[in-house]
Copies of this chain bind each other. A is one copy, B any other.
């Protein structure tokens, strides 16, 4: 019943959860094999090396993120709503534990030790996210919706830092609701 795209996808889904829980070195092909129900050697058929696997995963993640940003811009025209919806997306993921931590944020924490081919993709994700957030702040300022106390890029980086830090704190305290508490304050500041 498994077809090719399904097995490779299963592998990627599994790898994502394992990385999000324990980092690049915290999982092995054997772990995936157990979850997906195939042998370790078969994973090599789809992903010849661990680097290939994780790099593919990050590339997919980046594509999905770009699609997500585009969707945010279609579903709300007000940049404040776009940012709020971005945060709501993560709050839902964290609260229902479907995706409790940004893959690239997790990998970024161990960036010095990542294989270069993976590291470069993780950096690119941060650049994309930063650029999108910056553009949201720029648009909001141009429309008079936001009054920025610093440059749009700095606002964007602060916003991003708070979101990622909120994920970390929710995890550290074992309290998913904490992400919402932290980001509510963040979003409230956008309304002042």
Q: Which residues of A contact B (CB under 8 A)?
A: 21-26, 101, 104-106, 108-114, 122-123, 126-127, 130, 149-150, 154-155, 157-158, 160-166, 168-169, 171-174, 178, 181-182, 184-186, 188-189
Q: Using A154-B181, A165-B161, A168-B161 as known contacts, say yes or no to A130 and B25 having CB atoms under 8 A apart.
A: no
Copies of this chain present in the complex amount to 2
Interface of A, secondary structure class, is helix
Report if A112-B22 is in contact (Cβ < 8 Å); known contacts: A122-B172, A123-B173: yes
Q: Which residues of B contact A172 (CB under 8 A)?
A: 104-105, 108, 111, 122-123, 126
CB distance from A25 to the nearest CB of B (A): 4
Cα distance A122–B157 in the bound complex, in angstroms = 26
Q: Closest 7 interchain pairs by CB? A: A22-B113, A161-B165, A165-B165, A25-B25, A108-B172, A21-B112, A126-B172
CB of A32 to closest CB in B, whole Å: 14
Bound Cα distance from A171 to B173, whole angstroms: 23
In the bound complex, do residue B110 and residue A26 qualify as a contact, i.e. CB atoms below 8 Å apart?
A: yes
Which residue in chain B gives the minimum CB-CB distance to A130?
B173
* Complex Cα–Cα for A192 and B89 (A): 31
Given A23-B23, A108-B172, A171-B111, the answer on whether A161 and B158 have CB atoms closer than 8 Å is no
Are A186 and B158 touching (Cβ within 8 A)? yes
Q: A123-B174, A149-B185 are contacts. A21–B154 as well, Cβ < 8 Å?
A: no
Contact partners of A171 in chain B: CB under 8 A: 108-109, 111-112
The docked-state distance in angstroms from the alpha carbon of A163 to that of B110 is: 17
Residues of B within 8 A of A150 (CB): 181, 184-185, 188
